[in-house]
Amino acid sequence: MGRLDFILEELVTANRILANEGIVDSFGHVSARHPDNPKHYLLSRARAPERIERGDIVEYTLEGDAIDKNAAAPYMERFIHGAIYEARPDVQAVVHAHSADVLPFSIAKTPLRPVIHSGSFMGLHVPVWDIADRFGPNTNMLVTDMDQARDLAGCLGKDNVALMRGHGFAAAARSLIEVVRMAVYVPRNARVLLEGLRLGDITPLSAGEVAARPLDVCSTTSALGPTADKTAR
């Protein structure tokens, strides 16, 4: 199996896993940088993630234009992916999702911090992007063009995850398996943190604990799925 075939199969699997875990709905999406052309990325046409098949995957330029002019209707917020790939040559996979678990931390002054072992994948710092800061109070809060997407990518910077005020989050990683794991555990970490804050002071992960996560496992291109997740423990 060639590199492109492998990535296409893993991208379908990533969609199925994220849908099964309740991370993406009809408006959430996961992409992969094209393995043979770093200025292109692979993303499904607009379709419910649990129904995505290999034939649904479309190749896009970083500007969000489909290479196949006859491609089916795209996701409106596909620009998020291209802007992050453009800004971060190290990133090979991106997830955008609307998980309700992270939303309290996108509107409150309390920062989202890693507090559980699996939360280490998101890193120590999770910035919050507010579309109104640059684009005013009258947008629909969706990222619908490259100007907005590049502003979001700028907020993400070198971090792994950026929250989007009242909207959701964007996650970026060096592989599909890593970005899927991150997208699953960021909401779980948020739930634990929120419950902990109700009890009082919390103890977040230290810089050393975050740095000690198994990077060799995170960056592997092994097939996605339960077996890979068990290997990480």
Catalytic residues: 77
Paired tokens of 134: 């640059």
**Cβ-defined contacts of 215-220 (< 8 Å, 24+):** 218/121, 218/173, 218/174, 218/175, 218/177, 218/178, 218/181, 219/174, 219/175, 219/178, 220/175, 220/177
User: How do 168-173 and 161-164 pair as beta strands?
Assistant: antiparallel
User: How do 29-33 and 57-61 pair as beta strands?
Assistant: unpaired
Distance separating alpha carbons of residues 167 and 100, to the nearest angstrom: 9
